[in-house]
Structure 1
Amino acid sequence: MRVLAVDDDQSILALLQTALSALGLFEVSIADSGEEALRQIERAEKPFDCFLLDIQMPHMNGIELCREIRAMRAHHKTPIVMLTAMSERKYIDESFVAGATDYVTKPFDFYELRSRLSAAQRILQEHARANDSVEVARKLKQDLDSNLAIALSDPIAMNGIDRMLGFTEFENYIMQLNRTKRFTSHVMAIRVRDVEQHFDQMSNADFREAIQETGRALSKFTRKMGNILSYRGNGVFLCVCHGKASVLTPEQNEPLNRMLATMMSSRRFDVTFELEFGPPVSLRLTTRSGALYSLAKAATALDATPGVVSSKLMRLGRGQAKQSQSQRNDRLAYEAILQDLLAEEPSLNRY
């Protein structure tokens, strides 16, 4: 895995290059500034597989560099890990919004860093397989709707939408927030009403585009609040709110739906989506299981039917189209974590 580490501290660069190269899994190049990193990226005969970026650097900081790398076609999806001493939420938010895949704070543990880079490598391999599949589909000139067949539970990509994070990036963001012990942060679900009916009646391509337009409307509506968003499948968006002022209220539901109706009408959709809000759920839990439980609780909070959390969660991952092996593995791992949590803390079944 070809890694470019960027830091203005030569001792950190030497440590990264020596330690990671010794593992035998990584070929590490180094750059001591954002400008030098861009020059190396431009000169590289083969694109880098991953980037490790410090934030605090003169002239061009790591967040600006992350944004520059993301603008390059060859690195639109290349894993970018921020490796920094900055633990404030402002830097975490700006990094993920700029396109970061993960965030590691200094001083770091090399075993943890190796684990993060291995995860980044798996993401890279999944992207490569996805690109190969798209290329094969293009060559065979198959129908667009069958090529891009999706299940209702699929987390549709939201590329180019401000503050809208991908599935993996969003969970990494939540993990990082929990490490900073943010006690005023909440997550809430925003769901498309009658999403099953819309999914059954629309083509795959139209449904995908309508969900993406909904994401654009949410991003536009929450711009001043600075909320972080992610689409989780099943017509559910999750919204992270920092402080009471950024929590969406029932009074904002109607103006948001009016904005969405206007935007969908301008795109000439035959249907109009309507959104409903779930209650805010605290993100104060500081374990990985606790954080995932908070996300799952927010996603299921809109369900009025009494029942056990575990039974609801089992329904979240079910879709109508065939899932890829990686998606099934992700869901099984996700469900296992939640089941372990419920086994350890039976009181959670009351929710």
Structure 2
Amino acid sequence: MIRILAVDDDAIILELLREILASAGYADIEVADSGARALEILNTARQPFDCFLLDIQMPQMDGIELCRRIRQFPQYARAPILMLTAMAEKSYIDRAFAAGASDYITKPFEVIELITRLRNAETIIEERRRALEHQVALMSARKESEIKDRALLTEPVSIPDIDGMIEYLAFENYLLQLSRGRQFMSSILAAKVANIAEIFERCSARSFRFFLTDIAEALAESMRGHAYLMAYRGSGLFTIACDRRDADALCADLKANLQVRLDEIMPVYDDTTPIPVAAVIGEPAAHRLFRAGGALAPLHEAIEAVEKKALRVVAGKRAGAAILPTVTGGAPRQRELTHVYW
């Protein structure tokens, strides 16, 4: 059973939510009629909440600002936050996911749809609980610095405090919500660290997380001045969504700036040896109305394209030749270690 906090300035909606959720087995629900009241509840709660339902259009503090503030609580940094709102415009969707929303449901909502999304959130909560229990079991046997689960390489990892960075599942939900609202003005591209597996083998768990943060920071700095959402999918792959009209310019800046940013950050192994980075940048794939493969088709297309490029880079490096366009530069120490391909 999960504990839910629902926030809406409409008392009728709150009562309706109580009845709907209770009938679906979600009886542990608390409600608040404003953002300020919600924060009071969070600050005094003896038992933490597992999931949040937030309206957007509320006086004084809207649901997007409340979402941002909830994310500032360490215990709620990754908790599912579902926006439940009448605001269907893309600008609200963009702002909500940028603030940390996990999912987005527009009013009037279908009861079955709401329950389905909550079931999905509950599954995520349980998976994270099991993963935490597994981590605790490992820590009881070994020092934390020695723990390195293979899932750290292959699974989506939360990378906090990076501009535009959201959870990967939220990234998919963002694209799905745009599709539901027939908002087709986005493009998706991907970037990947081609040699991520060999980097993982040489890193401790701690230094690997630092490395992923360094890459995310370099990507974000390279796209400064553009509006975008970015997520880490796992296996060194980052996905990026932006306005279709800005996609070519963003991609050009990414290609022009990433090399410099990587050289400035200069990621290192535990022994301070510089990490050789082979980064690959893909091309934008448009999110179109009439497109085979569904709402996530452009995402899968962008991922597949950059994965193919990464394989070519790895093959070229093994053969001793770069077979894609590249830019090199930076400090002498890093010049032969960091390469960006497209």
Letter in 2 for 1:174: L
Structure 2 partner of 1:162: 163
Task: Indicate the SS of the match to 1:237.
Answer: strand
TM-fit CA distance, 1:286 = 7.1
What is the CA distance between 1:174 and its match in structure 2?
A: 1.1
2:192 is equivalent to residue 191 of structure 1: yes
Amino acid in the other structure paired with 2:160: N
Match of 1:249, SS state, is helix
CA distance in 2 between partners of 1:151 and 1:45 (Å): 32
List per-residue Cα deviations over 1:12-66 (Å, max 9, x = no partner).
1111112211223332221110111112222322112211100111111111111
Alignment of 1:1-351 (within 5 A): 1-142=2-143, 144-150=145-151, 152-247=153-248, 248-250=250-252, 252-264=254-266, 270-285=274-289, 289-302=293-306
Q: Does the CA contact (< 8 Å) of 1:150 and 1:204 recur in 2?
A: no
Letter in 2 for 1:255: N
TM-score normalised by the chain length of structure 2? 0.81
Which shows bigger deviation, 15-24 or 54-63? 15-24
Distance, in Å, in 2 between the alignment partners of 1:202 and 1:73 is: 26
**Structure 1 200/136 Cα, relative in aligned 2: closer, same or farther at 3 Å?**
closer
Q: In structure 1, what is the Cα distance between the partners aligned to 2:37 and 2:187? A: 39
The farther-off stretch of 267-276 and 78-87 is 267-276
1:68-111 Cα shifts (integer Å, max 9, x gaps): 11111232222111001111222112211211111111110011
Q: Deviations over 1:135-179 (max 9, x none)?
A: 333333335343444464322221222211212111111111112
Task: Give the partner amino acid of 1:159.
Answer: P
Q: How far has the Cα of 1:233 moved from its partner?
A: 2.0
The one-letter amino acid paired with 1:279 is E
5+ residue gaps, structure 2: 310-342
CA distance in 2, matches of 1:2, 1:245: 41
- Pair 162,249 (structure 1): closer, same or farther in 2 beyond 3 Å: closer
Report how many residues are paired. Answer: 305
Separation of aligned partners in 2, 1:203 and 1:134: 15
Distance (whole Å) between structure 1 residues aligned to residue 225 and residue 47 of structure 2:
40
Counterparts of 1:178 and 1:26, CA distance in 2: 32
Q: Distance in 2 between matches of 1:117 and 1:125?
A: 12
Taking the aligned partners of 1:194 and 1:228, their CA distance within structure 2 comes to 24
Question: SS at the partner of 1:302?
Answer: helix
Q: CA deviation at 1:272?
A: 4.0
Q: CA RMSD in A?
A: 2.5
Aligned with 1:48: secondary structure? coil
Partner Cα separation in structure 2 for residue 196 and residue 78 of structure 1: 29
Distance 1:27 1:151 in 2: 33
Identity, % of aligned pairs? 37
Give unmatched runs, 5+ long, in structure 1.
Answer: 306-351
Please identify, of 207-216 and 2-11, the stretch whose mean Cα deviation from structure 2 is larger: 207-216
Aligned with 1:256: secondary structure? helix
Distance (Å, rounded) in 2 between the aligned partners of 1:160 and 1:252: 20
Instruction: Return the TM-score normalized by structure 1.
Output: 0.79
Between stretches 189-198 and 70-79, larger displacement belongs to: 189-198
Q: Is the 8 A contact 2:97 2:174 kept in 1?
A: yes
Point out the more displaced range, 96-105 or 294-303. 294-303
**Counterpart secondary structure, 2:78:** coil
User: CA separation in 2, counterparts of 1:13 and 1:251?
Assistant: 46
Supply the distance in 2 between the matched residues of 1:9 and 1:63 (Cα, whole angstroms).
17
2:67–2:101 Cα contact (<8 Å) kept: yes
The DSSP-based 3-state class of the residue aligned with 2:154 is: coil
Instruction: Indicate the SS of the match to 2:30.
Output: strand
User: Aligned with 1:51: secondary structure?
Assistant: strand
Q: For 2:100 and 2:141, how far apart are their aligned partners in 1?
A: 32
Q: CA 1:124 to 1:304, structure 2 compared with 1: closer, same or farther past 3 Å?
A: closer
Q: Which moved more, 1:241-250 or 1:145-154?
A: 145-154
CA distance in 2, matches of 1:30, 1:288: 41
Change in CA separation of 1:257 and 1:288 when aligned onto 2, cut-off 3 Å: same
Q: Distance in 1 between matches of 2:284 and 2:124?
A: 30
CA offset at residue 251 of structure 1? Answer: 6.0
Tell me the equivalent position of 1:337.
none
Once residues 34 and 20 of structure 1 are traced to their aligned partners in structure 2, the CA distance between those partners, rounded to angstroms, is 21
CA contact (8 A) 2:139 2:147 kept: no
Q: What is the CA-CA distance between 1:192 and the residue it aligns to?
A: 1.8
Are residues 19 and 195 of structure 1, via their aligned partners in 2, closer, same or farther at CA, if it must alter by over 3 Å? closer
